[in-house]
Structure 1
Amino acid sequence: MGIIKFARGATLSDKDRKALQKLLAAEKKKLQSALKEVDASLSVLSGSKKAKKKKK
């Protein structure tokens, strides 16, 4: 995602504001799904470590 820099006192038009909100919402969804995948992977890994500890 690119960097958006605003000058002091700059304003967005309604069209630009809606487009930016749509873009940020899409990025948020991507990050949330990636976070869920990472959490699932971590839970699987921590579960396998716990199972190994129990066997000893």
Structure 2
Amino acid sequence: MGFIKFTKGTSLSDKDRKALQKLLTDEKKKLQSALKEVDASLSVLGAGKKAKKKK
């Protein structure tokens, strides 16, 4: 993903604003799905550790 630098007084056109919003929404969805995978992995690892402690 690229980096966009905004300076004071810079404004986006409607087209650019919508494109940027779409890009950010897509990135957010990707991050949320990755976070769900990480949470699932951590819960599996956490359950394994808890089971070992009980023994």
Q: TM-score range by the shorter chain?
A: over 0.9
Q: Within 5 Å, give how 1:1-56 maps onto structure 2.
A: 1-55=1-55
Residues in 2 aligned to 1:12 and 1:42: alpha-carbon distance in whole angstroms: 41
TM (norm. structure 1) is: 0.94
- Taking every aligned residue pair, what percent have the same amino acid on both sides? 82
Offset of 1:6 from its aligned partner? 1.1
Query: Residue type matched to 1:51 in 2?
Result: A
Q: Using structure 2 for the length normalisation, give the TM-score.
A: 0.95
Q: How many residues align?
A: 55
| Structure 1 unmatched runs, 5+ | none
* Whole-angstrom distance in 2 between the partners of 1:7 and 1:35: 32
Unaligned runs of 5+ in 2: none
Aligned structure 1 segments of 4 or more residues deviating by more than 4 angstroms: none
Q: How well do the aligned residues superpose, as a CA RMSD in angstroms?
A: 0.6
Structure 2 CA distance, aligned partners of 1:45 and 1:7? 45
